[in-house]
Amino acid sequence: MLPDPSGCLTAAGAFSPDERAAVYRAIETRRDVRDEFLPEPLPEPLIARLLDAAHRAPSVGFMQPWNFVLVRRSETREKVWQAFRRANEEAAGMFSGEAQAKYRSLKLEGIRKAPLSICVTCDRTRGGAVVLGRTHNPQMDVYSTVCAVQNLWLAARAEGVGVGWVSIFHEDEVKEILGIPDHIEIVAWLCLGFVDRLYRQPELAVKGWRQRLPLEDLVFEDGWGVRDGRERPADGEQVTHPEAADSATPGGS
């Protein structure tokens, strides 16, 4: 180990096999829960652990742009559900035929059923006008907030807590309901609650909406479209998977 006169460093190295297995299990079995929530409230120490996990996410310039609005009151959640319902009807109209029927068959009841919702926001003014690492990509603060969401999600999986990410709403409606300032951006509405069962595969795959893309189709080497030693495609040629045209989905996985 290199000398550390400052005392700021700690040993790094691989986890034990059991620890590694636990991390990968959380990643592989994480699911977007829509309708399987149990009514039992989450204990406060558990909620605190999940929020702490979220707060330990990486962030550009260490700006930590997130806030977490905990929503427990059924009256508030009902108002948000009504906003979701209106947007969901609009979304259903964007599909046609069999796709619309399948969309309408999906149960998206997390806002009402989950005992806790968390609205995760991004304050893009935090850290000032010039933020280290965001100078040439202003979206990095939003990306950082998404990392906080993923941290919370994986910690929740380890705790036996289901999470559903709701994205079908008009942001201004939810901002008005929660009194969120104009300059704050909503990144995620998360529904949280205990679950006793999870789908073995993502629900949208189980129900035939889309299937997981083969990883080997998504990995290039040293340039776009370069795979297995083959030359990259000619200028303007698109490298897409057959399912890419069917890209709109009503939620996560």
95-137 per-position pLDDT tens digit: 999 999 888 888 778 999 999 999 999 999 999 999 999 999 9
Contact by Cβ (8 Å): 72, 42: no
Task: Write out the two tokens for 128.
Answer: 């000032």
Which residues have a Cβ under 8 Å from the Cβ of 64 and sit 6 or more positions away? 55, 126, 144
Q: Taking 50 as the threshold, does the pLDDT of residue 63 lie above it? A: yes
Put the strands of the sheet holding 161-166 in their side by side order: 66-71, 116-123, 184-194, 161-166
Contacts of 43 (CB under 8 A, 6+ apart): none
Token pair recorded at residue 121? 């926001």
Report the alpha-carbon distance of residue 49 to residue 154 in Å, rounded: 12
- What is 31-227's CATH number, 3.40.109.10, 3.40.190.10, 3.30.470.10, 3.40.1360.10? 3.40.109.10
The model's pLDDT over 224-253, given as tens digits with 9 standing for 90+, comes to 999 876 666 555 555 555 444 444 444 566
Task: Say if residues 65 and 124 touch (Cβ distance below 8 Å).
Answer: yes
Contact 207, 240 (CB under 8 A): no
